[in-house]
Structure 1
Amino acid sequence: MKRSRIALSVLASATLALGACSAGSLGSSDEDSGGGKVSLSFLVDNAPETVKAAEGLAKDFTAKNPDITVKVESRPQGTEGDNIVKTRLSTSDMTDVFQYNSGSLFQALAPQKNLVDLTGEAFVGRTDDNFKTTVTAESKVYGAPFGNFFAGGIMYNKDVYTKLGLEVPKTWDAFMANNAKIKAGGVDPVIQSYGETWTSQLFVLGDYYNVEKASPGWAEKYTKNQVKYATDPVARAGFDHLQQVHDAGYVNKDFASTKLTDALRKLAKGEGAQYPILSSMITQLVTDNPGSENKIGLFAIPGTDAAKNGITVWAPSGVYIPASTTGDKLAASKKFLDFIASPEGCTSFGNASQPSGAWAVKGCTLPDSVPQAVKDLQAYVDQQASGLALEFLSPVKGPALEQICVEVGSGIRKAEPGAKLYDEDVKKQAQQLGLEGW
């Protein structure tokens, strides 16, 4: 999700850390070598963990298929990397296989024209349905998953929960009841870190699973301007939640200045009990707070119906085959994607780069060494209690959401006016996109 429209600045800053391409990364694909052997080129972004995982997959795949070698090449992240991918596709100069975003950025590649249809491949049946949605165009599947799902949920300190005899809440009322007991126990119930404004969005963005469960097809109606946050109580709930935890005095007193690192430390030390945040931040939490990997759990942002409890997820990037890959290289490339989207591929990926989220391939298992929050997320995915974030289902998202959430969560603006302001914010973007109905 490094480049998705969630516009979380901590992730955006990572994607903008542009680096040089590796030698030969802008050149054309290698030709098949003699003796019936095939050499594939594999382009990935230059994030260190991405490169490590790609090289691990290439090595393990070749060990299993000695007649096929895979050479990993890298490209910058961010806008520069996007332009490289689009240019190379348009000039038929793309590598044999490449890794790129799923979701809206994948759709911008004109997959029907530029990518190989993989719908009939065996690995598609092993792929999680949520992921398939993000790499599908006109009912055809074009990619295999590269990496893990991560979620918008609530990390919680298990020691605090155990001490106070609390259970993981499956409804918002149960969550608020827990908050009252936590505050009475002398601990901040909900940590907020508005010193980094992107973190303010999780009660809204992470609530989309509940919106979709209550109003199936809401994203499609939203894209057509047929529903709005301010006038739909189900959708407005995320804004209501921001207001409720603030007005009840359940947030840390220094919420306005607290930053992500501070919030994670508070959670790890039990100074705060719960933190609405992206599950991918568990990596930073464990790195900065050694020994906390099994003390911090994860649960979904609760809705109104315990029977429909589930978590909102962001999909991993995909691996694709450009239309310019043909012949023996095409057959070998499909074989490589089949390996990536298999339990063996998951193991290979995990050996190179410890998973920070749930697998998007059925039959894959996490190593015992992953943090408890990652195991909790995988359980939601395995139980089919997960659903895609709104940004994977609609192109409509306004740039001012994080500032509006800070205002609502700080008591500056009430939930309904905040939701109304956001409706105006997304209207501008929808009009810029030329969407019908706006």
Structure 2
Amino acid sequence: MKALPPRRPRWTVVAAVLVTALALASCSPGDLGSGDGKVSLTFLVDNSDASVRPAEGLAKAFGEKYPDVQVEVEVRPQGGEGDNVVKTRLSTGDMTDVFLYNSGSLLQALKPAETLVSLKGEGFLANVQDTFFPTVSAGDGVFGVPIGGAMGGGVLYNRAVYSRLGLQVPRTWAEFMANNAKIKAAGVAPVVQTYQDTWTSQMFVLADYHNVAAAEPRFADDYTANRTSYARSPAALKGFQRLQEVHDAGYLSPDFASAKYEDGLRLLAAGQGAHFPILTFVVGTLVANHPDKVDDIGFFALPGDDAAKNGLTVWTPSGIYIPKTTGGEKLAAAKRFLAFVASPEGCAAQTKAYAPTGPYVVKDCPLPDDLPRAVKDMLPYFAAAGGTTPALEFVSPVKGPALEQITVEVGSGIRSAADGAALYDRDVEKQAKQLGLPGW
């Protein structure tokens, strides 16, 4: 896809931040500069509620504590278009002072050692749980702090529909499809899909990774070394097959090709759709847009073939990063901002602004008691031995950029599952060669 020029921000949030000698005394000498006078920071995030609202909350809380530095929140598109904005702005030296972006394999495509400021040695990293560091590291550098909580990839479902039809939460794919048949017979759309937001089309493939790893425990290592692939692995191919199966059975919601994920949440909340395969970060949008329906919406992991191995595919939080183009007083203020994000105060600001989507990976950051039902449904997977598996992009650097376009085609009946998997393997090969991985 051709890289697009950066969009003008739709709105700006301005928060004031005072960086005084007293506030900086707790940091390492030279880390943050003098902090005298006003400093203006720009902060780029994608335009989803799940990114904008926490960013606004952080800017506001940071400003209340340190009122002399401006933090301006800018927005970009989501998905592949947004990826191109980030890559273009980094390559042209036009990136904001700090920015939000994925952790894991997508971060590696930014060549962080060449484009981002390493935070290794900064004292505030002691507040971050060790499990997060591999997802934001490259070479000897550590490049980000977490924003938001861990997320689950699975299925939001309408509990009122389930209750009315006498359905049980499925633990196998066969049970899931049997539920879909009963739901369709009752006049409700069994599976909500929202392909206008192309990233949402990937869930039947990406959220299935717990099941892939259960069937093929060495898949991630073999995949990284080019000893297996989606087309060659029977377990991995099933994600594409299930995407096709749901379409071919006629189980998709009306207007699935043109709907956005907010439309999908509306259908789900209204009981016009029963299942929505999605990441749990959208629960915050559900709370904001449909507060009276929050208790009606539950969550379960994407079912596989073996009920005994049922479990959740987990996404670690995105990160906040500083590009190498940020320097001087701006670099000092940017590090101070990241220190605030990676603190209990930062977690509290995010919780106040947007319903948590899962456990924080910053130490001493408890979750509130009044969690949405869907988030509560996710927590037992974390408590169970072997109940969670990191998504493939956090255990392998290999992820092709065209997956969301390919899964739209498979999920729309334009391309077969086998053809989609083979096409994605070719897309992955290009990415692996760019990263210089052995075996490719």
- Range into which the TM-score falls when normalised by the shorter chain: 0.7 to 0.9
C-alpha distance in 2 between matches for 1:34 and 1:187: 60
Asked whether 1:54 is paired with 2:58, we answer yes
**What's 2:347 paired with?**
346
- Paired residues for 1:112-151 under 5 Å: 114-118=117-121, 124=126, 127=129, 129=131, 131-138=132-139, 141-151=142-152
Asked whether 1:420 is paired with 2:422, we answer yes
**What's 2:178 paired with?**
177
* Contact residue 208 and residue 302 of structure 2 kept, 8 A: yes
368-377 vs 78-87, which deviates more?
A: 78-87
- Paired residues for 1:14-29 under 5 Å: 16=7, 18=9
**What's 2:299 paired with?**
298
**What's 2:44 paired with?**
45
224-233 vs 75-84, which deviates more?
A: 75-84
AA matched with 1:349: Q
Deviation at 1:427, TM superposition (A): 2.8
SS in 2 for 1:359: coil
Asked whether 1:165 is paired with 2:166, we answer yes
- Paired residues for 1:258-277 under 5 Å: 258-277=259-278
C-alpha distance in 1 between matches for 2:334 and 2:430: 42
AA matched with 1:418: G
RMSD, aligned CA: 4.5
AA matched with 2:275: Q
Deviation at 1:198, TM superposition (A): 3.7
- Paired residues for 1:192-271 under 5 Å: 192-194=193-195, 196-252=197-253, 255-271=256-272
Deviation at 1:218, TM superposition (A): 2.6
Q: 1:325 to 1:258 in 2, by over 3 A?
A: closer
Q: 1:108 to 1:160 in 2, by over 3 A?
A: same
Q: TM-score, normalized by length of structure 2?
A: 0.73
Equivalent of 1:108 in 102, 107, 111 = 111
- Paired residues for 1:263-342 under 5 Å: 263-305=264-306, 306-318=308-320, 340-342=341-343
SS in 1 for 2:181: helix
Q: 1:50 to 1:231 in 2, by over 3 A?
A: same
* Contact residue 56 and residue 73 of structure 2 kept, 8 A: no
SS in 1 for 2:35: strand
SS in 1 for 2:150: strand
Deviation at 1:203, TM superposition (A): 0.3
SS in 1 for 2:167: coil
164-173 vs 391-400, which deviates more?
A: 391-400
C-alpha distance in 1 between matches for 2:115 and 2:401: 29
AA matched with 1:389: A
- Residue ranges of structure 2 left out of the alignment (5+ in a row): 26-33, 77-81
C-alpha distance in 1 between matches for 2:112 and 2:251: 45
Q: 1:421 to 1:362 in 2, by over 3 A?
A: same
* TM-superposition CA deviations, 1:4-35 (whole Å, max 9, x none): xxx9xxxx99x95536989999xxx9996489
Deviation at 1:51, TM superposition (A): 4.1
Deviation at 1:74, TM superposition (A): 5.2
Deviation at 1:347, TM superposition (A): 1.6
AA matched with 2:53: E
**What's 1:408 paired with?**
410
Q: 1:87 to 1:423 in 2, by over 3 A?
A: closer
Q: 1:18 to 1:379 in 2, by over 3 A?
A: farther
SS in 1 for 2:292: coil
Deviation at 1:237, TM superposition (A): 1.3
Q: 1:335 to 1:378 in 2, by over 3 A?
A: farther
- Residue ranges of structure 1 left out of the alignment (5+ in a row): 1-6, 64-68
C-alpha distance in 2 between matches for 1:50 and 1:173: 38
Q: In percent, how many aligned pairs have the same letter?
A: 42
* Contact residue 135 and residue 318 of structure 1 kept, 8 A: no
* Contact residue 397 and residue 429 of structure 1 kept, 8 A: yes
* Contact residue 175 and residue 302 of structure 1 kept, 8 A: yes
Q: TM-score, normalized by length of structure 1?
A: 0.73
Q: 1:18 to 1:55 in 2, by over 3 A?
A: closer
C-alpha distance in 2 between matches for 1:267 and 1:21: 31
C-alpha distance in 2 between matches for 1:254 and 1:21: 32
Q: 1:85 to 1:53 in 2, by over 3 A?
A: farther
